Structure 1
Amino acid sequence: MGAADIVPGVSGGTIAFITGIYDQLIESVRRVNHQALRHLFNDGWKAAWEYINGSFIFTLLLGILVSIFSFSQVIGYLLLNYPVQLWSFFFGLIIVSAFFIIRQIERWRFSSLVSAISGTVFAFWITVATPITLSADYLHFFIGGAIAVCAMILPGVSGSFILLLLGLYAPVIDAIKSLNILTIATIGLGCVTGLLLFSNVLAWLLKNVRDITFAFLTGLMMGSLNKVWPWKVTESMRLNSEGHEVPFLQKNVSPFAYETITGQSGSLVLAIILMVTAIILVISLDRLRSPTHG
């Protein structure tokens, strides 16, 4: 999840769903509430820890943090030097993930169809929205963290891309690389606040209107494919945290147009191989966690 959350356009929520921990994640976070405090004061820390599924939350957060700090340099390098190959892998990952979410819908109704279309339109709109530039101060870091974390737990909506739209992606990555503790803590506080509030809403939706919710999540993933299309040409650049020019606004083109415009190989065969590899990986993970499936 941490590695996925670094890439603008890919959601950690997608990875949570692939690995079969999505419902457990939402329910565990939702339980960090006043009831947990009641258990803490009345029954002790062990009862409170078990109530919130603390071991699961701690292990997951540790993995995310380790991944973010370990892979931020690697992901940045791949985005800069092998963008077609990296986006191809994630494109296949999202396609097969959407299929697995569709499988969760027990019965398609008109409301589910409307929900799926709404999710697709919303995600597509996010991918083509014009970025704004917020000042990199602590208030905006807090707000950005609160908004981005909501996207991070939704399959198909990238928290990193939300930060990019807000103009906060580069300052956040810079803070992580330079270990700016105060900035990281502010972002973290915003993330915790947003997560605790949004997880309750999402948990209610999954419990009461599950098919409609999963239809909307499917739409989010399909709409997000516009962002992870491997072949893009750059229309404008921006300076990253190291003062280097990196792509800012891009548009999608065909693999053949990409070769004509950029003069670089579209790597079509390799891209297809990577897409198929991602699909096989997800199917394998699903069979590993569900040995009796099929």
Structure 2
Amino acid sequence: MPVARMLLDAGRGALIGTVEIIPGVSGGTVALIVGVYETLIDSAGHLARGVARAASDGVRGRGLTRAREEFAAVRWSVVLPVGFGMIAAVLAASAILAPIIEAEPVASRALFAGLILASLVVPIRMVGGRWRMREYAIAAVGAVAGFLLTSLPQVDPLEPPLPVVALAAAFAVCALVVPGVSGSFILLAVGMYAPTLAAVNERDLVYLGVFILGAMIGLGLFVSVLQWLLVHRRRVMLAMMTGLMLGSLRALWPWQEGGTVQPPGPDALPVLLLVLLGAAAVGGVLLIESAVLRRAARRLESGAAG
């Protein structure tokens, strides 16, 4: 494998890993921008199915033939350097973000809220065409569900139960399938964001091992289902996702005390500016994505014409 290509893919992975730490900025969107989205999603599916088949076929005495076929379909030449870059970036970004979030919770939630608000454009746009009454109704149901779920008591930020860690990871990893949806936001909405950052910074191998196991289970169980839904029930899926994201913004209301929403404080103006700053940041990423997609479409058209 050429060294230059490995370094390029590691750099792509570093970009994806950095934004995955920030709630509201989608690693899937950045993967799409840098041109590795389809390769990563396809390879992740093969990898998860390979692990599942190795476990099930091994227990049943069927051998590892099916598992080896799945592993052989993984684009290791891309996945390994991208994965290395992601891990390095996650470690670095976690060390920077964790103390900021702890010291400035109001400002952090305001910035993250702006990121999420702007990210709503992605699933809304992906629905395609004008929204019908059915999509609005589905989105409303999703918004109510998201609001209620984020109103539940959050887990203990110091020692979350390991089954909860695995479950949160299984759902968060599904966000990689849909550009514009942030896995970190899912963790934040269920109260698992700060514990996960702390586990990364403290090198808590038990927590991280359970988290990785949950992510692998999520890839194996949910990603294929989500991909099918995006093909066969696209409008319903994306409308529901839009509503869930909107309702879950309750978790990012800047003024909170122990998870209870408080009225705005005297710092309302600077907080609003941070919300606008977060929205502008995501808007810039989406503009870059649109430019990249337009350029790729023009290349395809010129190639077809030639």
TM over 0.5: yes
More helix by share: 2
Aligned to 1:210: 234
Aligned to 2:167: 146
SS in 1 for 2:153: coil
Q: CA deviation at 1:75?
A: 1.0
Does 2:120 align with 1:98?
Answer: yes
Looking at structure 2, the residues matched to 226 and 162 of structure 1 have their Cα atoms a distance apart, in angstroms, of 8
Given candidates 93, 96, 100, the residue that maps to 1:74 is: 96
Aligned residues: 264
More strand by share: 1
Q: CA deviation at 1:209?
A: 0.8
Q: What letter corresponds to residue 287 of structure 2 in structure 1?
A: I
Residues 96 and 282 in structure 1, CA contact (< 8 A), matched pair in contact too: no
SS in 1 for 2:224: helix
| CA-atom RMSD in angstroms | 3.9
Q: CA deviation at 1:178?
A: 2.7
Q: CA deviation at 1:216?
A: 1.5
1:79-228 residue pairs with structure 2 within 5 A?
Answer: 79-107=101-129, 108-133=131-156, 136=159, 140-154=161-175, 155=181, 158-161=185-188, 164=191, 170=195, 172-228=196-252
1:27-38 residue pairs with structure 2 within 5 A?
Answer: 27-32=42-47, 33=49
Residues 45 and 220 in structure 2, CA contact (< 8 A), matched pair in contact too: yes
Give the gaps of 5 or more residues in structure 1: 237-248
Does 2:301 align with 1:279?
Answer: no
Change (3 A) 1:277 1:131: closer
Looking at structure 1, the residues matched to 146 and 294 of structure 2 have their Cα atoms a distance apart, in angstroms, of 30
Aligned to 2:295: 291
Change (3 A) 1:285 1:128: same
Looking at structure 1, the residues matched to 100 and 283 of structure 2 have their Cα atoms a distance apart, in angstroms, of 20
Q: CA deviation at 1:103?
A: 1.6
Superposed CA offset, 1:207-233 (max 9, x none): 21112111112222222333234x31x
Aligned to 1:61: 83
Change (3 A) 1:100 1:134: closer
Looking at structure 2, the residues matched to 22 and 110 of structure 1 have their Cα atoms a distance apart, in angstroms, of 32
Change (3 A) 1:163 1:90: closer
Does 2:261 align with 1:251?
Answer: yes
Superposed CA offset, 1:89-112 (max 9, x none): 433332232212222113544443
Looking at structure 1, the residues matched to 215 and 110 of structure 2 have their Cα atoms a distance apart, in angstroms, of 29
Change (3 A) 1:129 1:104: same
* TM-score using structure 2 length: 0.68
Residues 113 and 275 in structure 2, CA contact (< 8 A), matched pair in contact too: no
Q: What letter corresponds to residue 31 of structure 1 in structure 2?
A: H
SS in 1 for 2:191: helix
Residues 156 and 224 in structure 1, CA contact (< 8 A), matched pair in contact too: no
Looking at structure 2, the residues matched to 144 and 3 of structure 1 have their Cα atoms a distance apart, in angstroms, of 21
Change (3 A) 1:181 1:77: closer
Q: CA deviation at 1:173?
A: 4.0
* TM-score using structure 1 length: 0.70
Looking at structure 2, the residues matched to 44 and 5 of structure 1 have their Cα atoms a distance apart, in angstroms, of 29
Q: What letter corresponds to residue 194 of structure 1 in structure 2?
A: G
Looking at structure 2, the residues matched to 293 and 127 of structure 1 have their Cα atoms a distance apart, in angstroms, of 40
